[in-house]
Amino acid sequence: MIRIVLADDHPVFAAGLCAVFDAEDDLEVLAVAATGRTALEALNQHGPDVAVLDLSMPDGDGLWVCTELQRAGSTTRVLILTMAEEAESVLAALRAGAHGYAVKGAGPDEIAAAVRAVAHGEAVFGASIAARMLQHFTRAASAAPFPQLTEREHEVLRLVATGMDNPAVARRLGVSGKTVRNHVSAIITKLQVTDRTAAVLKARKAGLTD
C-alpha cells in the first residue's frame, strides 16, 4: 500500500483527488492539508511514502515544504501537482527536492500512475512538462544576460521587466508573494543596482524582454 499525504488549498480539487486515490486498491490518503505548514505537520506525523503537493499554498508553499523535508532527511518522496507548467517552476521544484511534477489538467489515471512511479523511486514528468523543459533547455543553449542570476531569478526579472507586479509574478510562477519578493531583492543585489526600477531598466537594455 502506498501511503499519501495530500496538500492543496482548493477543497473541491482536494476532495476529487482523494476520491481518485481511494478508488485505487494500492493507494491510501492518510491526511489532507490546505497550507504548507499543516502539510509539513501531517508529513512529520504520518511519514507517508509520497507527498502530493501544490506549489501555491498559504503559510508556506510547496517549495518550502520540499525544502524542509529535504533538510530533515525525510524519506518521503514528493510529487508536485499544480497548475504551473513553466519550465522554471519545474526546475525550482527539482532544486527543492521534488521527485516528480505533474499538472492538474492530467487525467486521474495519469496522476495515480505518477504517484506510483514516484513511490517506486522514479522521476516523473508529464508529457506537457517534458515538452516545456525541452523548449527551456533549447532557449538556454544561447547565451543569456546576467550569468550571476539563477534560472528562477532570470524568469522573475523578465516578468518584472514586462511590467508585472509581485502578485502577478507569483501567480504566473505558482509561488508565494514572499518568494517573489526574496527573488527581487536577490536580483537587485546581484545586479548591483539601487532598486527595482533600476533592475528593470537594466534588464530591458540587455534585451531580456525581447
Average pLDDT, the chain: 88
Q: Is residue 138 part of a domain?
A: no
| Shared domain check, 147 and 82 | no
pLDDT for residue 210 is more than 70: no
Residue 114 is part of a domain; what is its CATH number?
3.40.50.2300
Q: State how far the Cα of 61 lies from the Cα of 58, in Å rounded to an integer.
A: 6
Residue 149 phi, psi (nearest 5)? -90, 150
Tell me the per-residue pLDDT of 54-100, one tens digit each, with 9 for 90 and over.
998 999 889 999 999 988 999 999 999 988 877 778 888 888 889 99
pLDDT for residue 32 is more than 70: yes
Between these two residues, 83 and 129, which has the higher pLDDT value?
83
Least confident of 21-25, 46-50, 106-110: 106-110
Residue 94: the pLDDT is 83
Report residue 39 CA to chain centroid gap. 15
pLDDT for residue 133 is more than 90: no
Task: Decide which of 80, 112, 133 is a domain's last residue.
Answer: 133
| Shared domain check, 92 and 30 | yes
| Shared domain check, 151 and 127 | no
Residues of the chain above pLDDT 70, percent: 90
Its domain, for residue 119, covers: 2-133
Residue 187 is part of a domain; what is its CATH number?
1.10.10.10
Q: Is residue 210 part of a domain?
A: no
The confidence band for 26, taking pLDDT boundaries of 50, 70 and 90, is: very high
| Shared domain check, 22 and 82 | yes
| Shared domain check, 163 and 86 | no
The C-alpha cell of 157 is what? Answer: 526579472
| Shared domain check, 120 and 200 | no
Q: Is residue 199 part of a domain?
A: yes
Q: Is residue 194 part of a domain?
A: yes
The C-alpha cell of 111 is what? Answer: 496522476
Q: State how far the Cα of 189 lies from the Cα of 120, in Å rounded to an integer.
A: 42
The confidence band for 135, taking pLDDT boundaries of 50, 70 and 90, is: low
Residue 144: the pLDDT is 63
| Shared domain check, 115 and 196 | no
In sign, the C-alpha dihedral spanning 157, 159, 162, 166 is negative
| Shared domain check, 158 and 107 | no
pLDDT for residue 143 is more than 60: no
pLDDT for residue 141 is more than 50: no
* DSSP letter for each residue of 121-188: T--EE-HHHHHHHHHHHHHHTS--S-TTS-HHHHHHHHHHHTT--HHHHHHHHT--HHHHHHHHHHHH
| Shared domain check, 117 and 56 | yes
| Shared domain check, 149 and 127 | no
* Domain count across the chain: 2
Q: Is residue 174 part of a domain?
A: yes
The confidence band for 18, taking pLDDT boundaries of 50, 70 and 90, is: very high
